[in-house]
Amino acid sequence: MYRYDEFDQAIVDARVAEFRDQVARRLNNEISEEAFKPLRLMNGIYLQLHAYMLRVAIPYGTLDSRQLHMLAHIARRYDRGYGHFTTRQNIQYNWMKLEEMPDLLADLASVEMHAFQTSGNCIRNISSDQFAAAAADEIADPRPYAELLRQWSTLHPEFSFLPRKFKIAVTGSTIDRAAIQLHDIGLELVHGAEGEIGLKVLVGGGMGRTPLLAHVIREFLPVADYLSYMEAILRVYNRHGRRDNIYKARIKILVNDLGPAEFARQVEEEWAALKPLGLDPPPSELARIAAHFQPPVLDADAPVEIDLSNPEFANWVAVNTHPHKVPGHAIVTISLKAPGEIPGDASADQMDLIADLAKAHAQDEIRVTHAQNLVLPHVRRDALFTIWQALKGAGLATANLDRASDIISCPGLDYCTLANARSIPIAQKLAVRLAPQEADLGELKIKISGCINGCGHHHAGHIGILGVDRKGEENYQLLLGGSGAEDASLAKILGPGFDENGIVTAVEKVIGRYQSLRSGPGERFLDTYRRVGAEPFKEAVYG
Amino acid sequence: MPRLLTGNRVETGDVIWWTGDGWSLHLKDAIAVDDSGEALIAQFSPQERINDLALIDADPSDAGWRPRTTRERVRAVGPSVRPDFALPSIPVESI
Amino acid sequence: MAESTLFRLRDDPQDSSWAHGDPAVPLDAYQAGGTAVRLEPGDDARALIPHLASLRRIDIAFPKFREGRGFSAARILREAGFAGEIRAVGVLYVDQLGFLVRAGFDAVLPEKPFDADVARATLARFPHVYMKAADTARPVWLLREERALAAR
Ligand code: SF4
């Protein structure tokens, strides 16, 4: 994985010094909160319901054990012993003290990590496929392209005060694990006519108040010029994106208002002006970065057959591992969704354990998924049992990947100052209720947000739940039929909302109706919904 | 209806309540500021030591103040999903 | 806005009428040959390209903190070869100086004056930059390339 050189380190260290200075000025009252707030936000620091919250960037969701140990240390030293992995592949800490933040950022910098641009109206952390470099279905590792984007977007002088936040995702596979159709820019590595690698460019996807799927504005972008092309997209957006209404300020609204064809034309025109300016680094820079992402040397003769006589272990292997591109290996997903627990939360001890396992058995790599789980991407199959035993001892061996209890949930009103309703308790109740039957249900993605901002991706849920405020009471809307994968679609509201217990019952009714309607055990809820439409479910819930 | 004055301490982010002669971490120490609330906010705002100063509605109950909204009850007690961190104000179950 | 808040990074004299005293005219009142003009956030900076030879100073307005279009406007003007003064005017904080300079501004007239020490520290803060922009700073990829060539 990428390692900083002295330039990268100097920039991150300077940022720590800058923030130390800014915090000192705020604590001395040299600057007002009004002036300070945008500064702390650009370092990922929010004031939430109980304390400051810090969002640490995990670029393209990749960590090594040293970094995960540091995240554990931060949880212990500066927080209350845990952290929350988010749908943006980042980690958030909930109990931060402003006065300790400069030391914390210095600790992060010591392991080549930072909180650059994890908030604010700028280009946010670049997300990617959690199975990068391990999945059999990928064209190439997307992370070198993501890393170059990270560097290019860091402290960008023109694009740090955009109309609204800006999220970019990159994938190297046609199986979309990075939800590229739901990002401001989605990039997919593709082969050109001569077999060379290029990028397919999608623009204008997103969730929130106006969920929209992205449009392809370029089928093939040569990698040599992709940064100047990004620059062109961002410039068109910065100049023409709406700034009069925060709910209409994302690029998706501009793309929609102009129409994708006209938007693409303006980008091409801007690109023609920008490309000759020498903004693109030479190919040697991408090659330098790519050299850090050499695939690990794995033993292709590692045994494929392993002892699966322990049924609990065999079930975990079947549910939570994926085939690796190298025979005898597997991709392990560690569920942070034990039913009844808080989705995405991990204790410092759990982080340390996972870091140790990664070091011992997984080429020292850990990935964070947008579904708030962790991944060990390169594991010998004959080490799976050892790993499983260690995970089990720490409450981390839940075999529920992509199943009913693997629920995505934003922090909601238990932590978030923007929330209308709590999301975590709904996730906990649903997971406990649905876990016993989830094996029969197969793939079922439930996603919960505590407000219209949609951090819990409710619009991309097979079943989505949105917390709203109804006359001061928590109320929940039920949405069906979304997907954030390559078959992306936006979930639609089924009908009037429910209270906390009502929404749990309503989901159970939807699932009951699905079980009676599905054509066979292979038909997922989403497929059944797409086949039969919303009516039967409406009838089941409201009839 | 009784109104309480609350905010977050700038250094720590801690949720704090106005007690009449200072600030407390505990809702139970809060006093009703009622009509003097706006004047207190006008007094404290320029000092820039407390962020997000706000007046919230609360009702007296046997267990002490009970803020009207879920949001303010969560702020006063802690996350409803982490009873282990609950502050001694209203019972966490009653959020 | 007091004139004393003007923070200037150019070393040419500021006492000539164009640089300091002349009120910049709004874009739609601008007439060919004018030396100073003011762009509002919604104005198209490219409309000035035919006039860059006569212009000595272009003010770009930042009516509120969240406004960011001026960063594109300044860079577009520098890309078009404008070498006169580009002044950022409005709600701007000293911590934004690095962005402003890199986007092509060489003067700032903030609503509240900048602390000179903080301004100096801010401008000296980052030893390297990741991307080319409107200033002369050389991005790290260029430094890396040079170093790799030298090593050969
Ligand atoms: S969806 Fe709303 S409630 Fe949930 S984390 Fe995002 S802003 Fe907060």
Does position C19 have pLDDT exceeding 60, yes or no?
no
Confidence grade of residue C2 (pLDDT, cut at 50, 70, 90)? very low
DSSP output for A99-135: GGHHHHHHHHHTTT---TTSSSSSB---EE-TTTTT-
A421 lines ligand 1 (CB under 6 A): no
Of ligand 1's listed atoms, the one at least distance from the Cα of A415 is 8
- Asked if A354 and A396 touch (Cβ cutoff 8 Å), the reply is yes
Of ligand 1's listed atoms, the one at least distance from the Cα of A412 is 3
Other chains touching B, judged by 3 or more CB pairs under 8 Å:
A
Parts of chain A with a pLDDT under 50: none
Q: Which of A15, A157, A285 faces C99 most closely, judged by CB atoms?
A: A157
Please state, in angstroms and rounded to a whole number, the distance separating the CA atoms of residues A515 and A492: 20
- Asked if A529 and A461 touch (Cβ cutoff 8 Å), the reply is no
A454 alpha carbon to ligand 1 midpoint, in Å? 6
In total, chain A counts a number of residues equal to 543
Q: What's residue A115's pLDDT?
A: 96
- Measured CA to CA in angstroms, residue A36 lies from A46, A224, A239, B45 at distances of 11, 39, 26, 15
Of A310, A313, A406, A392, which Cα lies nearest the Cα of A353?
Answer: A392
A455 lines ligand 1 (CB under 6 A): yes
Residue C9 neighbours by CB under 8 Å, 6+ apart: C101, C105, C106, C107
Question: What is the residue whose two structure tokens read 């159709």?
Answer: A181
Q: What's residue B90's pLDDT?
A: 79
ipTM score assigned to the predicted complex:
0.96
Q: What's residue C16's pLDDT?
A: 52
Instruction: Inspect the interface and report whether the beta carbons of B13 and A47 lie closer than 8 Å.
Output: yes
In total, chain B counts a number of residues equal to 95
Residue B8 C-alpha from the chain's centroid: 9
Partner A contacted by C27 (CB < 8 A)? no
Q: Which of C44, C64, C72, C75 best tests the A interface by mutation, with the highest count of A CBs <10 A?
A: C72
Please state, in angstroms and rounded to a whole number, the distance separating the CA atoms of residues A77 and C122: 30
| Tally of CB atoms within 10 A around C28 | 8
Please state, in angstroms and rounded to a whole number, the distance separating the CA atoms of residues A69 and A111: 10
Instruction: Inspect the interface and report whether the beta carbons of B75 and A50 lie closer than 8 Å.
Output: yes
| Tally of CB atoms within 10 A around B29 | 17
| Tally of CB atoms within 10 A around C13 | 8
Find the residue in A nearest to B50 (Cα).
Answer: A33
Find the residue in C nearest to A121 (Cα).
Answer: C66
Please state, in angstroms and rounded to a whole number, the distance separating the CA atoms of residues A96 and A82: 12
Please state, in angstroms and rounded to a whole number, the distance separating the CA atoms of residues A80 and B27: 21
Of A233, A215, A245, A271, which Cα lies nearest the Cα of A156?
Answer: A233
Mutate which of A410, A414, A447, A479 to test ligand 1's pocket (most atoms within 8 Å of Cβ)? A410
Whether C and B touch, i.e. at least 3 CB pairs below 8 A, reads as no
Q: Are strands A329-334 and C85-90 parallel, antiparallel or unpaired?
A: unpaired
Contacts of A412 in chain B (CB under 8 A): none
In total, chain C counts a number of residues equal to 152
Same-domain check for residues A148 and A283: yes
- Asked if A539 and A509 touch (Cβ cutoff 8 Å), the reply is no
DSSP code at position A85: E
Instruction: Tell me if B89 is assigned to some domain.
Output: no
Please state, in angstroms and rounded to a whole number, the distance separating the CA atoms of residues A219 and A199: 7
Does position B64 have pLDDT exceeding 50, yes or no?
yes
| Tally of CB atoms within 10 A around A297 | 9
- Buried residues in A11-22 as b, exposed as e (16+ CB within 10 A): bbbbbbbbbebb
A·C CB contacts under 8 A: 108
Query: What is the domain-level CATH number for residue A204?
Result: 3.30.413.10
Query: Residue A540 carries which side chain, given as an amino acid letter?
Result: A
Please state, in angstroms and rounded to a whole number, the distance separating the CA atoms of residues A451 and A208: 9
Same-domain check for residues A438 and A538: yes
Q: What's residue C11's pLDDT?
A: 82
Q: What's residue C22's pLDDT?
A: 64
For residue C151, which phi and psi values (nearest 5 degrees)? -70, -20
Does position C43 have pLDDT exceeding 70, yes or no?
yes
Instruction: Inspect the interface and report whether the beta carbons of C68 and A160 lie closer than 8 Å.
Output: yes
Same-domain check for residues A271 and A163: yes
Residue A333, strand partner residues: A375
Same-domain check for residues A168 and A218: yes
Of A322, A426, A411, A415, which Cα lies nearest the Cα of A367?
Answer: A322
pTM for the predicted model, two decimal places: 0.96
Does position C21 have pLDDT exceeding 70, yes or no?
no
Instruction: Tell me if B52 is assigned to some domain.
Output: yes
A409 alpha carbon to ligand 1 midpoint, in Å? 9
CB-based contacts of A217-225 (< 8 A; 24+ apart in sequence):
A217/A260, A217/A263, A217/A264, A217/A267, A218/A264, A219/A190, A220/A190, A220/A192, A222/A192, A222/A196, A222/A198, A223/A145, A223/A197, A223/A198, A223/A199, A223/A286, A224/A280, A224/A283, A225/A271, A225/A275, A225/A280
Query: Residue C19 carries which side chain, given as an amino acid letter?
Result: A
Top-confidence range, A389-398, B84-93, C26-35: A389-398
Q: Which of A409, A410, A413 best tests the B interface by mutation, with the highest count of B CBs <10 A?
A: A413
Burial of C99 (0-12, 13-18, 19+ CB in 10 A): buried
For ligand 1, atom 2, name the residue with the nearest CA.
Answer: A451
Residue A489, strand partner residues: A483
Partner A contacted by C95 (CB < 8 A)? yes
Contacts of A23 in chain C (CB under 8 A): none
Same-domain check for residues A251 and A169: yes
Q: What is the mean pLDDT of chain C?
A: 91
State the smallest CA–CA distance between residue C148 and chain A in angstroms: 10
Same-domain check for residues A169 and A253: yes
- Asked if B70 and A422 touch (Cβ cutoff 8 Å), the reply is yes
- Asked if C22 and C54 touch (Cβ cutoff 8 Å), the reply is no
Please state, in angstroms and rounded to a whole number, the distance separating the CA atoms of residues A316 and A332: 10
Please state, in angstroms and rounded to a whole number, the distance separating the CA atoms of residues A61 and A168: 13
State the smallest CA–CA distance between residue A39 and chain C in angstroms: 8
A·B CB contacts under 8 A: 69
Partner A contacted by C128 (CB < 8 A)? yes
Tokens of C54: 């006569």
Q: Per the structure, how many domains does chain A have?
A: 4
Query: What is the domain-level CATH number for residue A81?
Result: 3.90.480.20
Instruction: Inspect the interface and report whether the beta carbons of B12 and A51 lie closer than 8 Å.
Output: yes
Instruction: Tell me if B34 is assigned to some domain.
Output: yes
Q: What is the mean pLDDT of chain A?
A: 97
B77 alpha carbon to ligand 1 midpoint, in Å? 20
Q: Per the structure, how many domains does chain B have?
A: 1
- Asked if A140 and A133 touch (Cβ cutoff 8 Å), the reply is no
Please state, in angstroms and rounded to a whole number, the distance separating the CA atoms of residues A157 and B90: 48
Region label for C51, one of left (φ > 0), alpha (ψ between -120 and 50) or beta (otherwise): alpha
DSSP output for A37-49: HHHHHTTTEEE-S
Of A267, A256, A281, which Cα lies nearest the Cα of A231?
Answer: A267
Comparison of pLDDT for A3 and B92, the residue scoring more: A3
Calculate helix-pair angle for A143-153, A283-291, nearest 10 degrees. 120
Of C44, C55, C45, which Cα lies nearest the Cα of C18?
Answer: C55
Please state, in angstroms and rounded to a whole number, the distance separating the CA atoms of residues C95 and C123: 9
- Give SS3 for A59: helix
For residue A522, which phi and psi values (nearest 5 degrees)? -85, -15
Please state, in angstroms and rounded to a whole number, the distance separating the CA atoms of residues C152 and A94: 49
Instruction: Inspect the interface and report whether the beta carbons of A51 and B8 lie closer than 8 Å.
Output: yes
State the smallest CA–CA distance between residue A180 and chain B in angstroms: 32
Instruction: Tell me if B95 is assigned to some domain.
Output: no
Please state, in angstroms and rounded to a whole number, the distance separating the CA atoms of residues A128 and A199: 14
Tokens of A125: 């952390």
Residue ending a domain, among A393, A423, A443, is A393
A410 lines ligand 1 (CB under 6 A): yes
| Tally of CB atoms within 10 A around A272 | 11
| Tally of CB atoms within 10 A around B94 | 12
Instruction: Tell me if B38 is assigned to some domain.
Output: yes
A419 alpha carbon to ligand 1 midpoint, in Å? 5
Please state, in angstroms and rounded to a whole number, the distance separating the CA atoms of residues C104 and C74: 5
Please state, in angstroms and rounded to a whole number, the distance separating the CA atoms of residues A239 and A274: 15
Residue A466, strand partner residues: A449, A477
Tokens of A34: 């009004």
Residue C2 C-alpha from the chain's centroid: 19
For residue B55, which phi and psi values (nearest 5 degrees)? -100, 130
Partner A contacted by C120 (CB < 8 A)? no
A49 lines ligand 1 (CB under 6 A): no
Contacts of A281 in chain C (CB under 8 A): 139, 141-142, 145
Structural domain range at position A73: 6-109
Mutate which of A88, A416, A417 to test ligand 1's pocket (most atoms within 8 Å of Cβ)? A416
CATH superfamily of C7-125: Aldolase class I (3.20.20.70)
- Measured CA to CA in angstroms, residue A46 lies from A31, A32, A55, A528, C119 at distances of 17, 16, 8, 41, 25
- Buried residues in A366-396 as b, exposed as e (16+ CB within 10 A): bbbbbbbbbbbbbbbbbbbbebbebbeebeb
Query: Residue A408 carries which side chain, given as an amino acid letter?
Result: I
Residue A277 neighbours by CB under 8 Å, 6+ apart: A228, C79, C132
A22 lines ligand 1 (CB under 6 A): no
Instruction: Tell me if A459 is assigned to some domain.
Output: yes
H or E stretch at A252? helix A251-258
Instruction: Tell me if A126 is assigned to some domain.
Output: no
DSSP code at position C24: P
DSSP code at position A166: B
Of ligand 1's listed atoms, the one at least distance from the Cα of A416 is 8
Q: Which of C41, C93, C103 faces A157 most closely, judged by CB atoms?
A: C103
Does position C20 have pLDDT exceeding 80, yes or no?
no
Mind listing the pLDDT tens digit for each residue in B24-63?
999 999 999 989 999 999 999 999 999 999 999 999 998 8
Structural domain range at position B32: 3-78
Same-domain check for residues A276 and A203: yes
DSSP code at position A282: P
Instruction: Tell me if A123 is assigned to some domain.
Output: no
Does position C14 have pLDDT exceeding 80, yes or no?
no
Residue boundaries of the structural domains of chain C: 7-125
